[in-house]
Amino acid sequence: MLTKRIIPCLDIKNGRTVKGVNFVNLIDAGDPVVLAKQYAALGADELVFLDISATLEGRKTMLEMVLKVAEQVNIPFTVGGGISSAADVTALLNSGADKVSINSSAIKRPELINELSDKFGSQCVVVAIDAKQIDGQWKVHLAGGTVPTALNLFDWAKEVEKRGAGEILFTSMNNDGTKAGFANEALAKLSASLNIPIIASGGAGNVQHFIDSFLIGKSDAALAASVFHFGEIEIMDLKTQLSENKIPVRI
Amino acid sequence: MKVIIIDYGAGNIKSIQFAFKRLGVDAILSNDIDEITTADKLIFPGVGAANAAMKMLEESGLDKIIPTLKQPVLGICLGMQLMCLSSEEGNTKGMGIFKVAVKRFSNERKVPQMGWNTIASLKSDLFLGVKENEFMYLVHSFYAEKCTECIATTTYGIAYAAALQKNNFYGVQFHPEKSGTAGAKILQNFLKL
């Protein structure tokens, strides 16, 4: 049976992890390669690296990091952040990334999704959507969730699927950072209306939240950062509890 | 041992090369027919669309060479599918090494299947030391049907061929290079064939 995926997300700036990572027994918790290997060994199903460098130099460093991760890590990983052309994607895939995640660039130029899925296959095109519920309406946001757009989450998700996205990474900005659970209602609606996998993101605080994202939110994968980085939730322990709740996981 | 990854322009070859490097083997990328025919082991990768990949194979003449190879050949993902008779993806004619058709998953489930699923009914030295129902990483929308050449199955709505074998030709739908230590074991077994 296809299992539900648990995905730690690492924010990377100039080739280093940022936003406090506090792993015990790690010599260098700022080294994404060391962390990635650790997560793979601890049972993570996939990894996401989000490049938040704003400079050209930072982007170059990112490519070097991707190459090192691909050399040493034997599970799939996605790279996102600042990708706006087929050339960007070629460079990342040639460095060993399995998938890329695009966000703002897809909103600004939706044809990019078609171009990437035609050229590289939809299996490696993840479209990340940051949305916020305002007056009952889920509105898509740009630029790391800071700039609202006129786009409705469900319409945009449908369009993204039609244009060839292989997967959607949905972050609820209402939930992100709250540790109060995922946006399960919106997730369930996305999952019911689309035929591609949905990754839940934003709001993970405890094991029950993951259980709910799969059982209520019907998500195919759940992504989180700090609860894993700070050891608040151990991946294997999480998976054991998911399994006890009849959620198929890789153990 | 000379291990060649057939480089015909389709696929994420780097991960496969790295996976062999982790096993201490330098796998070489090549599209050179002499290099390919004299290799000890061959990897036939593939990611993306079947028709485009098949076209690239035909342009390089490799579609005629590959079926005549005598050494162990391992097709991975789309590589395996192109070794089959045909694919519903773009109505593509394959190399016909495996006498089985490749079909699209029905929309009753999410397509592509993406993630970790189990492989069962393992019957080949390719799986020595790999336990029944081991997890492998898969990403695909099309599948080869169960058939006599099937050496492992996976179930996604229906049971289909996760791996195929005919003589020296092997094909796996999953990505051993991305499937943790169990995947590495399969690549290691392939090197010993």
Cβ separation of B135 and A70 shorter than 8 Å? no
**Residue B190 to residues A72, B8, B33, B130, B149, Cα–Cα distance (Å):** 20, 21, 21, 12, 17
For the stretch A198-228, pLDDT in tens is 999 999 999 999 999 999 999 999 999 989 9
For the stretch B90-132, pLDDT in tens is 899 999 999 999 999 998 999 999 999 999 999 999 999 999 9
In this prediction, residues A65-88 reach a mean pLDDT of 94
Chain B positions with Cβ closer than 8 Å to A: 12, 14-15, 18-19, 21-22, 47-49, 107, 110-118, 135, 137, 139-141, 155-156, 175, 177-181, 183-184
Tokens at B13, concatenated = 């070859």
Q: How far is B41 from chain A (nearest CA, A)?
A: 21
For the stretch B62-94, pLDDT in tens is 999 999 999 999 999 999 999 999 999 889 999
Burial code (b: 16+ CB inside 10 Å, e: under 16) for A159-176 equals ebbebbbbbbbbbbbbbb
User: By CA distance, what is B77's nearest residue in A?
Assistant: A123
Cβ separation of A74 and B178 shorter than 8 Å? yes
Q: By percentage, how much of chain A surpasses pLDDT 90?
A: 75
User: By CA distance, what is B181's nearest residue in A?
Assistant: A74
| pLDDT over 70 (residue A22) | no
Q: How far is A221 from chain B (nearest CA, A)?
A: 9
User: What is the DSSP secondary-structure string of B1-45?
Assistant: --EEEE-SS-S-HHHHHHHHHHTT--EEEE--HHHHHT-SEEEE-
- How far is A128 from A142, CA to CA, in rounded Å? 10
Residues of B in contact with A36 (CB under 8 A): none
Q: Which of A51, A130, A176, A220 is catalytic?
A: A130
Cβ separation of A195 and B22 shorter than 8 Å? no
Comparing CB atoms, the residue among A76, A121, A221 nearest residue B137 is A76
Q: Which of A51-55, A146-150, B109-113 has the highest mean pLDDT?
A: B109-113
CATH at residue B16: 3.40.50.880
At which residue do the structure tokens 């280093």 appear? Answer: A16
User: By CA distance, what is B18's nearest residue in A?
Assistant: A71
Which pLDDT band, with edges at 50, 70 and 90, does A88 fall under? very high
B34 beta partners: none
The vertex-B60 CA angle with B55 and B65, nearest 5°, equals: 105
Residues of A in contact with B49 (CB under 8 A): 118, 121
C-beta separation of A86 from A113 below 8 A: no
In this prediction, residues A69-97 reach a mean pLDDT of 93
Q: How far is B105 from chain A (nearest CA, A)?
A: 12
- Cβ-proximal residues to A22 (8 Å cutoff; 6+ apart), any chain: A29, A229, A230, A231
User: By CA distance, what is A218's nearest residue in B?
Assistant: B110
| pLDDT over 70 (residue A189) | yes
In this prediction, residues A226-232 reach a mean pLDDT of 89
Helix (H) or strand (E) holding B74: strand B73-76
Residue A212 is among the residues annotated as catalytic for this protein: no
C-beta separation of B90 from B51 below 8 A: yes
Comparing CB atoms, the residue among A45, A46, A166 nearest residue B112 is A166
Residues of A in contact with B181 (CB under 8 A): 74
| pLDDT over 60 (residue A25) | no
Give the pLDDT score at A57.
75
Cβ separation of A197 and B110 shorter than 8 Å? yes
Q: How far is A4 from chain B (nearest CA, A)?
A: 8
For the stretch B141-184, pLDDT in tens is 999 999 999 999 999 999 999 999 999 999 999 999 999 999 99
B55, B110, B114: which to substitute to probe chain A, counting the most A Cβ within 10 Å?
Answer: B114
CA B172 to chain centre: 4
- How far is A53 from B155, CA to CA, in rounded Å? 41
Q: How far is A147 from chain B (nearest CA, A)?
A: 31
Using a 10 angstrom Cβ sphere, with 0-12 exposed, 13-18 middle and 19 or more buried, the burial of residue B59 is: exposed
For the stretch B16-47, pLDDT in tens is 999 999 999 999 999 999 999 999 999 999 87
In this prediction, residues A29-56 reach a mean pLDDT of 88
Helix (H) or strand (E) holding A115: helix A111-120
Number of structural domains chain B divides into: 1
Give me the domain span that covers residue B133. Answer: 3-192
Residue A11 is among the residues annotated as catalytic for this protein: yes
